[in-house]
Structure 1
Amino acid sequence: MASFRKIRGSWEYRIRYKDKQSGKWKETSKSGFATKKEAQLAASEANLDFEYYGFQEDGKETMYSYMEKWFELYKRPYLKQTTIDLQERNINNNILPRWGNYKLREITRSEYTEWLLELSKKYATGSVRRIHSIMSAAINDAVHEFRILRETPLSRVKIPKNNTEAKIKFYSVNEMNALIEASKLKVKHAKYQQSNMYYAMIHLLGHTGLRIGECLSLTWSDIDLENGKLTVNKTVSYPDKSNRPVVSSTKTTSSERIIELDKATVNVLKTYSINQKELYLRYPSILKPADKLLFHTADGLHYRANVVRDQFRVFCKRANVPVLSPHALRHSHAVHLLEAGANIKYVSSRLGHKSIKVTADTYLHITKKIERNALDLYEKHINL
């Protein structure tokens, strides 16, 4: 319902509306109209916006309120669960702590640029770019979809480059071999001491460069042991506040791939296949998953990545190698391939990167080192 009054020669409308999120009644007003008719037309348009969008006009909505509604309408229905988890973490850990109490119209270009500079001191350039992408998309939709801002202050904002970016963390060949050997040892207090599941898992990660979600989603039908090939076409994740796994397609279409397995990995998987069948016979309490998962809990469920990470730390300490995350095995595999002379296009395809540029940028310092070594060899060769 709208009311109108004339103040100091111009007309003002005042609207009382019900906020769709809180269910509480709120009031807003706007003045400066030359005639009562103009104020009535503007009030009618504002009322329609409230009914359709449930947002306050002119950017008075706080980022806390806006981001929640925006994400539910424009992100969650269209993203894979793994992407949803990543974006929600960035929103909750970075965007809302800084901007949550700001009204949309209070966000300025200069203050936002300063924030990006602060982020660049904490995160790699790629991480800052991902955070900015979420924030920029939200503000753009506030302009073009929700029409609660006239323009975005974030257009053409430059991402500061982190000149002190940390290099990727990986294991040397000797360290990785020691780690794989350490995973053969039995897990302390483990109920199923005869299982060599972790050994097979760590070996597979180190020799294929699989992402942890891709590895934990594998079924035996994805593996062709006779021809030494492994098909990657899905990944698994556990959404926040949920104990149920979500199996979805891979991170990108380029992530869908067929990986050739080396002979050692084929032998490890063959041995593990026999070991798994023996465990089913020895321990009737172990439930066989209907989809014949490669790695699964005693309840027949997908393993959680955080459980694997915890056990991985144990193996790192046993092997006396740096305590990193299982993702370091993916980096290690890529580095070992490059050091062995593999073509970067082959490495990119094997890792499932969306482009060779991603691979080249990720392992830039490795490729530079290889190039320097190649040049040294060339100089020695022509100076014989």
Structure 2
Amino acid sequence: MALKKRNDGRYKVTYSSHGKRHYFYGSTRNEALAKREAFILELQKAPNIDREITVSEWLDEYLLDAKNRVARATYLSYESISRNHIRPILGDIVLAKLEPFMIRDLLNKKQKDGCSTRTIEYIYVVLKAALTLAINDGVLYRNPAAGIKKPKATKEPSIALTLPQLKTLLHVIDDPEYFRLIYLTASTGMRREEVLALRISDVNTRRHTVSINQTVHHDNRQTYITNTTKTDSSQRTILLDDETYELVREQIKTVQKRKASTFGYKDFDLLFPGPTGRPISPTQASKRLKTYAKKAKLPSGFTFHGLRHTHATLLLEAGANVKSIQVRLGHSSFKTTMDTYSHVTSNMEEDVLKKIPKLI
């Protein structure tokens, strides 16, 4: 270490690390030495610190690591968030110079741009995870996202149909196969990605049940199936009522006829395949429902996911056991079911209070 006073009155001190010399300046001896000590401390905490790698370059490293750890659909969501939201604003910044206020500015900008709270939360989660990996690899000594409060996602409540509304919707569907798809979804509460991935072999003809073991996804390239579900509890078996089971039997017969008559049919064993056997895109299924919902004059905010809420709401209103509904929906906890349908259970509680005087 050589401490020198320059001609301009400032003090200069040096430090060599990995064959590279670093220079530190200060208006006083102590200031120059303090900067040098701070740098050495950084090296101790982050021995692989790189003062040239950018945020965008590090995101490449993070995504490469994530690709080997997470499911394809999850990886693609990470990549999309990185490409569309993080890189355009923070990508050119040197990773070691990334500051908390820059991350706050990014989140605030996305909010002003009208991004959903869920997207903003996801931006924060992906960025923080990438920075945590940098710390674990010794590339950073602190996580600039650590002190930033995680944005809270607010979900628009899904619209649940009344029984008359559901009957009206089913009445206007003129495609027999799509009718069966919607009826099965409404009578079981399955997620869109679950019912579209349902296989004929998942139907138990003796017990009248369907088992959920896989899901369908779509990215910019193709629609594909994964042998995973949203959570472990999403892998479940659902008992069908007689009418629903008969519709499932009809659908199996329709698919078997198509297999025999369609040249080049690609057999994925799907209960609701596309024309040539391949899985139906979730987006395509939702768009068709929008068309029929408009024809049935349903609320404009009704979505495919609303069929799941309709199923649960009608069961609760009919007095079904909440724990049974949790298992049927594949919720990971009883609390999730109660939180999601608290508005229904509170209405039921009011109804109970009205009946108490008649019971006593």
Counterpart residue number, 1:381: 358
Q: Tell me, in whole angstroms, the C-alpha distance in 1 between the residues paired with 2:122 and 2:340.
A: 15
TM-score (norm 2): 0.79
Counterpart residue number, 2:74: 83
Partner SS state of residue 140, structure 2:
coil
Tell me the CA shift for residue 87 of structure 1: 2.9
Q: 1:198 aligns with which of 161, 178, 182?
A: 178
Q: Tell me, in whole angstroms, the C-alpha distance in 1 between the residues paired with 2:286 and 2:177.
A: 14
Q: How does 1:1-384 map to 2 (within 5 A)?
A: 9-11=12-14, 30-32=22-24, 57-58=50-51, 60-73=52-65, 75-110=66-101, 112-113=103-104, 116=107, 128-145=120-137, 147-155=138-146, 157-161=148-152, 166-183=156-173, 185-186=174-175, 196-238=176-218, 240-243=219-222, 245-280=224-259, 284-285=261-262, 287-323=264-300, 324-378=302-356, 380-381=357-358
Distance 1:29 1:331, change over 3 A: farther
Distance 1:297 1:160, change over 3 A: closer
Tell me the CA shift for residue 157 of structure 1: 3.9
Partner SS state of residue 264, structure 1:
helix
Q: Percent identity?
A: 26
Partner SS state of residue 14, structure 2:
strand
Q: Is the 8 A contact 1:168 1:362 kept in 2?
A: no
Once superposed, what is the RMSD of the aligned Cα atoms? Answer: 3.8
- Paired residues in the alignment total 340
Q: Tell me, in whole angstroms, the C-alpha distance in 2 between the residues paired with 1:363 and 1:369.
A: 10
TM-score (norm 1): 0.74
Q: Tell me, in whole angstroms, the C-alpha distance in 1 between the residues paired with 2:198 and 2:54.
A: 43
Partner SS state of residue 68, structure 1:
helix
Task: Give CA deviations for 1:285-314 in whole Å, capped at 9, x if unaligned.
Answer: 355443421111222211111221222222
Distance 1:235 1:160, change over 3 A: closer
Q: Which stretch of the first structure deviates more once superposed, 201-210 or 106-115? A: 106-115
Partner SS state of residue 310, structure 1:
helix
Q: Is the 8 A contact 2:185 2:307 kept in 1?
A: yes
Q: Which amino acid aligns with 1:61?
A: I
List runs of 5+ in structure 2 lacking aligned partners. Answer: 7-11, 26-31
Q: Is the 8 A contact 2:158 2:303 kept in 1?
A: no
Distance 1:160 1:69, change over 3 A: closer
Distance 1:160 1:254, change over 3 A: same
Tell me the CA shift for residue 159 of structure 1: 3.2
Distance 1:62 1:247, change over 3 A: same
